[in-house]
Structure 1
Amino acid sequence: MPWFWPAHVAAAPGEEVLVVFGANSEWGPIEVCTPTGGALELSVDAEGVAVRSAAGVRLTGPALADMPSFTFHEAAYRFADGSVRLGVAGIEERFYREPSPVSPRTEQVLADLLRVLVIPRMPAFMQRLGLRILPQPPMPELDPGRITVLHVQLPLGLANALVHVQPGDVLTVSANRREVTVASQQGLQFDVPGLRMRVDFHGARYHLESGEVQFGEFGQLENALLEAAVRKALAGYEPAAAESDFSAVAAVLDRFPVDDEGRRILYDSKLARVLLPPDTMLVVRIGEHGLIVTADPPIEIDGATVLDYKFAGVSYSFDDATFHLDIERDGVLAGLLRAKIVEEGEQQLDSLVRPLLPAAMRTPATACPATPTRRPRSPRSSARSSARAGSSPRTEF
């Protein structure tokens, strides 16, 4: 039994190595450790099967170097209904707080995956111990009122995934130097028919300073695992992203000088300066009629003499496939030149940015006689209506 209590493996102070898996494999070794004197218990009875450790178990090893640190206490499976129960502890939380270490929804998804992938392949003698071959989870049914906007193949060819959206839904992405948030007004549906699985998505947050992730109704463990995956992916572009206190956005902004009022000087010349006020929030809203990008507070254009402007946002209409700038002028002379500046800016966006958009977005939508098309509201009017409704998804610190 070379796996259990390996004498040749050195444990951390105060711990014992109970089991080592994959010592000679590319993915190993993976060490199962407990505090000194701790134990790992396996129980099988008429109710189900469970693995427990009162003191807690940690998984370590080179292959798990990027994984979050936590202690495992219980994993249980009930024969009667196929339910799964997980118990973990010790997951660090700094800015985001979750109500449970593992969400009930995740436990349900794991139970469904066991029904689909594992239980039908168990040896026959397990049924004599009480294991039941339960009916397969129901296949997710497409809501006829929703539209399928994405169909992709999952890694390893396991299954296809589909994303469904409700007509009229608005997807909002907000970002400042501390956080990025994504919110769906009516909720997206992610379906994996091959695994008989459906996940509803309403919103997610990513903290740029701590690297923490808060995704939908996930618990502490799921968000910590997702955070580790995001950090590893970002480290491929920026090695410093592996550090928990590194913010790529803050690092870029810190390269720009600061004026007397605390505004970042993004561009400086004899003709004009482009100034970014502190804590500016960039908000992107994507709806069925177009895309709107707003800056709150607006980015300031400090021109020569009295030619001062504020960039409030830009919109792109799917109906006419054109850009529309929203620039606030400061002063009479600036007002006289505003129309010319807006016209030139929109032409530049149409020539430089529009060719980069997907083909479907570059083609003006065909107006339906029963439902007239309309331009997306300007960034300012959209922000005002969100404030009146009290439903702005932006997150401030």
Structure 2
Amino acid sequence: MRSPFRLPWVSTGGARGVSSLPPGAAAVEAKAAGFAIVAGDGVAHWSGRSYGALSRAGFMKNPVAHRAVRLVAEAAASVPWLAYDGDAELADHPALALLAQPNGRQAGPDFFEALYGHLMLSGNAYVEPLQLSGTLRELHLLRPDRVSVVEARDGWIAAYDYRAGHVTRRLPAEVPAGRGTVALLHLKLFHPLDDHLGFPPLGAAGAALDLHNAAGEWNKALLDNSARPSGALVYQPKDGGNLSADQYERLKEELEAGYSGAVNAGRPLLLEGGLDWKSMGFSPKDMDFIEAKNAAARDIALSLGVPPMLIGIPGDNTYANYQEANRAFYRLTVVPLLTRTAASLSAWLSQAYGEPIRLEPNLDRIAGLSAERDSLWARVGAAGFLSDDEKRQEVGY
């Protein structure tokens, strides 16, 4: 329900985009390159932080970001749901069937994988309900970059505009309470500077993402250049003077024909009188190339809550072994994401079905937490002062 109070920092209403970008970020995002390019003025140019920019430069281009996002989304989407009315479990509630098959094109894991992916790359996820004859039939995800918030004069959200092609639909933020009448569900992550939209976790690693992509581009260019740093041929004749135009063009053609490309890698350069080679670039060893790239990869993984050990990034000794890193991944990243999603879905579906529903993730089905579950069952089973019913309740039954 919309608050009756007016936000003091909002003066007028209107529609605004999904992402809040700093000044000049839109111009930077419009560049085709998704990595930092150090220009001649010594200023680094960074890719944008919108959903489209992070999707292109991160999920679709960077292997570390791609794997980390998929690891979080697939792990969270694989956990089944349980429904309760108070303490009573609802084994056959229609909400469970809806979440298992949200629409005709997506099964439950596919739907939630896309939902969690939207949260990782945008900080926002939008679920549109399809209601027929007062009954909730299907759930559909709206792409975050196509949704914009419409603010009322008091500063609170009045509606959402969804653009697909040349068509724009306005979806209300609130509908009258009643069975089968629910508005668009907006899931968002915390944003310290935005009242209505979430902040994408991958956006916090934007500099590391650009650095990692730039390192890959530089490495590829270096290999194409026979794995040698750039340099210059300097003409220093004893009697002074410069190369004539014909001599310059002939030297340029000989270099391009005889010494460029992978086929000519390692071929010695024959220099005539007065010519000297001057190296003008750093070697990978001088740049500490590998460590810089691994450090950027660790920042990308950590921003998404994935222990670097799970992705195979060297140099991370936070956890003693893979099992501890996997357990920390579920406890610190997957379970909190599931918990906040369950709370939002519970309130939303309770309004849709006109009865209280409490959704909870079935943590007993998570293989990564089996060691913790075995330890809990052993402690509860050894508690002789508890009855069988109390033991069952303690372990979640």
Comparing both structures, which one devotes a greater share of its residues to helix?
A: 2
Greater relative contact order (CA < 8 Å, ≥ 6 in sequence): 2
The answer, yes or no, to whether TM exceeds 0.5 is no
TM range (shorter): under 0.3
TM-score by length of 2: 0.20
